[in-house]
Amino acid sequence: MELTSKQRAHLKSLANGIDPIFQVGKSSLTPEFTESIADAFNTRELLKIAVLKNCADDPRMIAEAVAERTHSTVVQVIGKKIILYKPDKKNPKIVLPK
């Protein structure tokens, strides 16, 4: 899903108020970690992930890999924080601007 700059800005402002619910550590991306993120998208549309200092992988690469595996969209990678968005197909809670 491609986001316009207006939609991306809207999602960034919403993500500003949430805390990271996942942390990527030394073991980086495991299948279990990816599955946990996919499960979290069942209850949320917007996720924030923190990449810890002991993780040797690049946060942008991690974001792209997670987005691909969970069929979500990378909203932003800033420093060691990743914001992902996946709209709920049946009952979307977040309404994106046109």
What values do phi and psi take at 14, rounded to 5?
-70, -40
Number of structural domains, the chain?
1
Low-confidence stretches of the chain (pLDDT < 70) are none
pTM: 0.91
Does residue 43 lie in a domain region? yes
At residue 29, the pLDDT reads: 86
CATH number at residue 39: 3.30.110.60
At residue 91, the pLDDT reads: 81
Does residue 44 lie in a domain region? yes
- Which range marks the domain in which residue 60 is found? 5-85
Does residue 26 lie in a domain region? yes
Give bridge partners of residue 23 from the DSSP assignment: 50
Does residue 62 lie in a domain region? yes
At residue 94, the pLDDT reads: 87
Cα–Cα–Cα angle for 54, 58, 60, rounded to 5 degrees: 135
Does residue 25 lie in a domain region? yes
Does residue 11 lie in a domain region? yes
At residue 34, the pLDDT reads: 92
Does residue 59 lie in a domain region? yes
At residue 95, the pLDDT reads: 80
Tokens of 77: 């990678």
At residue 44, the pLDDT reads: 92
Does residue 94 lie in a domain region? no
